[in-house]
Amino acid sequence: MFPFKKNIILDRDSNRNLYLQICDQIIGFIKSGKLPPSTRLPGTRKLAEDLNIHRKTVIAAYDELIAQGWIKTVPAKGTFVSNTLPIIKTQNFSKTINEVYKNDKSNFSFHKRPYLYRKPNTVYKKEILRIDDGVPDNRLAPIDEIAKTYRNITQKTYHKSLLGYRSIYGNDELRNALVSYLNQTRGLHIDKDNILITRGSQMGIYLASQLLLHKKKNIIIGTTNYMTADNTFQEAGGILHQVPVDKNGLDTVAIENVCKNKTIDVVYTTSHHHHPTTVTLSAERRMHLLELAKQYRFAIIEDDYDYDFHYSHAPILPLASNDYSGNVIYIGGFTKIIAPAMRIGYLIAPKDFVDEAARLRRIIDRQGDTLLEQTLAKMIINGDVQRHCNKVLKIYKERRDLFCSLFKEKLGDYFDFDIPNGGMAIWVRLHQKYHWDDVVKIAEQHNLVLNHEWKRYDNDNSRHNGIRIGFASLNKEEAREFVDRMAKVFDSLNEETL
């Protein structure tokens, strides 16, 4: 008989229950063929004695193995390894998988999209300081509150139904919570039918683009624009038209001129704040844009990813709050407030559009994570979200102020920048005698990784020499360290040119 006593090794200090340890090991013996089908197992009393444990533990282990189908009890005869095991046997098919062949290249053709290609992110060592283009500080994420709320929800039996297939529009409680939340914080006047829950705001942009830009429809974007959005419009088949962006955002007079000559279907705006230059679309231009939309019947995709992060004064209400004609598709999300990995966003639009977007969403991803959506709903209702938002707003404002004063003090000779009214990044325009490619290269020698994709921001090839430098994810020490290293980078550059 197989020597169970010798082969089963129990670790009483392990987190894993003893009975599961027994299960794991017996399954291992079965899988490896040490215990072939129909092998008789020792009685529970015997095994308990051999292993010096309580008999109940062995019974629990056997019950588990029976439930999983590994062993079977034959009344009056004993317990045996099952002869119809839940393991894999090849059946007259692929008898000889001996050679391991990993396919790198496919043998079929598919549609390649060069515009979607980007350099993969490198993983850097710890001592290296990496500068992003404006993302939240994950160390501030309210992860304990989330985990707690999440757990409370999963503990309620009646929430089991949340695990199943649910509405393609998103969790009902979250949609209801968003009605009040958005009406209160953004001056919208929507009801539940105007809301589709998405995965982050990117899915909102994708859905809107697919519905609006099919078959070479025309879309207006800014000269300098959020590159991922541009890619999304191209993927949907849209034709991009650029208009200038100045200190007040998109030039709406230029938009009007384009509309006079061409049927424009969509205008894309990051009203609060323009990506990448961080300017705010002025109230006057917002009114003008809404009038144009009504007159020329185009849709406005208002990507308000930065609305919650405005420092200087209260934010300007979104275009969507003043849209009485059904022209605005308002897109936002909680990834910047909560955490990028917890992808919950929303698309707000006239009901007919929301319905169509939901149908498309069904075939992309069926539905969202209803448990996480319910968690967020609870956190909006009990005020956790707003509270957290106010807290990080204060911290980010301090970081912006520190960054800008350090920049002015130590780096003012090398680039220009304006203090941004909000957001998580500063738009930095390098003086023409320098080039970002050189700065990036020297920076690496100082263990500093800068955003090397400055071309992302230069969609009209004007060589404006601007990049975004994110300040929100760096604490005070890191900010000081960054600026010190940058000063050294420019010192080296100046020496080289001497």
The whole-angstrom separation of Cα 176 and Cα 173 is: 5
If one asks whether residue 241 binds a copy of itself (CB under 8 A), the answer comes out as no
Residue among 6, 12, 112, 125 that touches a copy of itself (CB under 8 A): 112
Paired tokens of 242: 């650029």
If one asks whether residue 242 binds a copy of itself (CB under 8 A), the answer comes out as no
Residue among 272, 273, 274, 286 that touches a copy of itself (CB under 8 A): 286
Beta strands in 17-107 (DSSP E): 71-74, 78-81
User: Closest separation between CB of residue 405 and a copy of itself, Å?
Assistant: 20
Considering the complex, state which of residue 407 and residue 468 has its C-beta at the smaller distance from a copy of itself: 468
If one asks whether residue 497 binds a copy of itself (CB under 8 A), the answer comes out as no
Residue among 149, 252, 367, 451 that touches a copy of itself (CB under 8 A): 367
Closest CA to 255 of 213, 221, 208, 295: 221
The whole-angstrom separation of Cα 255 and Cα 362 is: 34
Paired tokens of 373: 């959506």
Tell me which residues in 45-84 interact with a copy of itself (CB under 8 A).
64, 67-70, 84
If one asks whether residue 141 binds a copy of itself (CB under 8 A), the answer comes out as yes
Counting residues that bind a copy of itself (by CB under 8 A) gives 139
User: Closest separation between CB of residue 101 and a copy of itself, Å?
Assistant: 5
Tell me which residues in 159-218 interact with a copy of itself (CB under 8 A).
160-167, 184-187, 189-191, 193-194, 199-200, 202-203, 205-206, 210-212, 214-215
∠ CA 452-124-473, nearest 5°, is: 70
According to DSSP, the β-strands at 129-130 and 448-449 are parallel
Residue among 394, 455, 463, 476 that touches a copy of itself (CB under 8 A): 394
The whole-angstrom separation of Cα 442 and Cα 437 is: 9
Paired tokens of 107: 């043998």
User: Closest separation between CB of residue 117 and a copy of itself, Å?
Assistant: 6
| Residue 336 contacts residue 364 (beta carbons within 8 Å) | no
The whole-angstrom separation of Cα 193 and Cα 170 is: 11
The whole-angstrom separation of Cα 193 and Cα 356 is: 12
The whole-angstrom separation of Cα 223 and Cα 66 is: 66
User: Closest separation between CB of residue 259 and a copy of itself, Å?
Assistant: 13
Residue among 6, 74, 76, 108 that touches a copy of itself (CB under 8 A): 108
Considering the complex, state which of residue 235 and residue 438 has its C-beta at the smaller distance from a copy of itself: 235
User: Closest separation between CB of residue 121 and a copy of itself, Å?
Assistant: 8
Residue among 25, 44, 231, 447 that touches a copy of itself (CB under 8 A): 231
The whole-angstrom separation of Cα 90 and Cα 92 is: 6
Residue among 299, 426, 469, 479 that touches a copy of itself (CB under 8 A): 299
The answer for residues whose C-beta is within 8 angstroms of residue 410's C-beta and 6 or more apart is 483, 484, 486, 487
| Residue 467 contacts residue 457 (beta carbons within 8 Å) | yes
Residue among 105, 126, 260, 433 that touches a copy of itself (CB under 8 A): 105
Q: Is 470 in a helix, a strand, or coil?
A: strand
Tell me which residues in 397-426 interact with a copy of itself (CB under 8 A).
none
Considering the complex, state which of residue 62 and residue 353 has its C-beta at the smaller distance from a copy of itself: 353
According to DSSP, the β-strands at 245-246 and 466-470 are unpaired
Q: Which stretch binds a copy of itself (CB under 8 A): 147-155, 398-406, 440-448, 456-464?
A: 147-155
Q: Which stretch binds a copy of itself (CB under 8 A): 246-254, 321-329, 412-420, 459-467?
A: 321-329
Q: Which stretch binds a copy of itself (CB under 8 A): 16-24, 401-409, 427-435, 489-497?
A: 16-24
Exposed (0-12), middle (13-18) or buried (19+): which is 361, by Cβ within 10 Å? buried
Considering the complex, state which of residue 179 and residue 489 has its C-beta at the smaller distance from a copy of itself: 179
Considering the complex, state which of residue 5 and residue 391 has its C-beta at the smaller distance from a copy of itself: 391
Residue among 81, 372, 486, 489 that touches a copy of itself (CB under 8 A): 372
Q: Which stretch binds a copy of itself (CB under 8 A): 346-354, 398-406, 440-448, 474-482?
A: 346-354
Tell me which residues in 444-473 interact with a copy of itself (CB under 8 A).
none
| DSSP codes of every residue in 404-422 | HHHIIIIITTTEEE---SB
Exposed (0-12), middle (13-18) or buried (19+): which is 19, by Cβ within 10 Å? buried
| Residue 323 contacts residue 308 (beta carbons within 8 Å) | no
Considering the complex, state which of residue 239 and residue 287 has its C-beta at the smaller distance from a copy of itself: 287
